[in-house]
Structure 1
């Protein structure tokens, strides 16, 4: 019996070629785009924005060329609740979020998988550069890096569950980006040369602090910049304007470069320090998801990324509570930031990950 696949189509070249490759493999394919917001501000197509109305038309065009059914699923409420609300809340609580991880987690690989099941479709297909393999010894599904190391997106997929991995296909995992663009050009896709999306889709102008103020209806309260010894250095615009490791835009004159090293939400103070003050030997991670196992029975040696573009770093991870891990770096790491994801690797296998938190945030 012919297998059915629902292709998550963003209007970009990757998801378009994913649709083509699945059709070539003999799957009965349909395309699907998620309508995520109604805010007119979000509909302005930036050069590297995604999920705009024009992207929907591109996806529809590609699906038609491939002879596929095409759906647009309204998911504004799910996106608002699980992505935008969480984005604003994380900043207001002193963290720096990664909304693309939450969009993958709650929309593409949760809500869309459920939609596919309602339609009697076997698989959801995404244009991410990653791979899924089944471990013959344990029977568990494993998440692997994409073979193109320059485009690997496994970092933003660490939260995928066994149920989701069993129903997800990543056809681009075996290809390079150059090969994908060549296929798109050969097929005459109108988005063959479209730049990769990089902007936060619901903040196309990049001014996240103004977006949060408008979205919540509350203005940022100015406060004090302090140095690591508690001396007042000046005034800040509101703590949501700053993230750990930030150096530019502080408005502070000093004989050496200063960096944001921490925040005190109780006193509305932002702590500035030297480069060495950014270094951390360990961090805590909650909201964890482990892929090869349900839990850790003891310490595990692995590599860890605490930012999407950061090289992997040797570390030891240990589960200290049901939903809490301690990561101990073999060498101190720079700007380990609450709200960002820590993702664990063993070679090209993703072991899992979670959200970096401070002890104060756990209380």
Structure 2
């Protein structure tokens, strides 16, 4: 399929609007919760920590949660954009390439073996996602045609189905394991900590840099196999590098918030609806929209049934679902 890229921004206000969304989400995330904070309490907690209860809430609860939401959302938006770009599949995402299924299988393996804590488990999930994605690429890249979009999608579906079946078998046989796995698989920012942000930041930066370096090549790949080769962008190496970026970005987001799968799907579609298909516009806008969506979804989860909370994986789907359905009904989603 050959498509024409729209190189200019169709909505000049899109990026500034997305920045406003992220700022609004950040402010709400810091102020709203089981214990609402005044502006004075928020300022004192950030700038003049004295050990007061409100200071503790700001520094040790709201700030880590907000930073995790921002970083996880940006990584999800970029991962979804790159995944859709390298596969030329509008429904692609980290789950399509087996990343989430691999992460879940690795998590179950270490939980079953009783290794480490939840904070350590997510890094095994990162490794599992990488192994699964490499397996998908190895299978999809076999044969004379190499790693074509169709073969990658089929390989990803097969590997994901196999890993999901294995994971489900282990979970259903152990009630305690099911309880721990259920909390993780839905996605949540409730256990966010500043050390986790520090550990994840280098991975996020590496993934973001790699995604930015692929901007021109992703545009070329979108034009089709023959056209991309004529432009000097080899599809095979581009897809391999893109797969690495997806694994790093999705693994980082998983380490921070669990496998929140819907955000990485809807953010790139919303970005393309606003600014066209050129990746130099779509990548930053997807990152901003996804970060804003994650923060807004997290805040909504805190207040809907307060003082109880709804996990972010649920609220993100409830908020993003209508947007995605609107895009499907009003636009040609297949046009990447």
- TM-score normalised to the size of structure 2? 0.22
Which has the higher relative contact order, 1 or 2, with Cα contacts under 8 A spaced 6 or more apart?
2
Specify the structure having the higher radius of gyration (Cα): 1
Q: Decide which structure has greater helix share.
A: 2
- TM-score normalised to the size of structure 1? 0.21
Q: Decide which structure has greater strand share.
A: 1
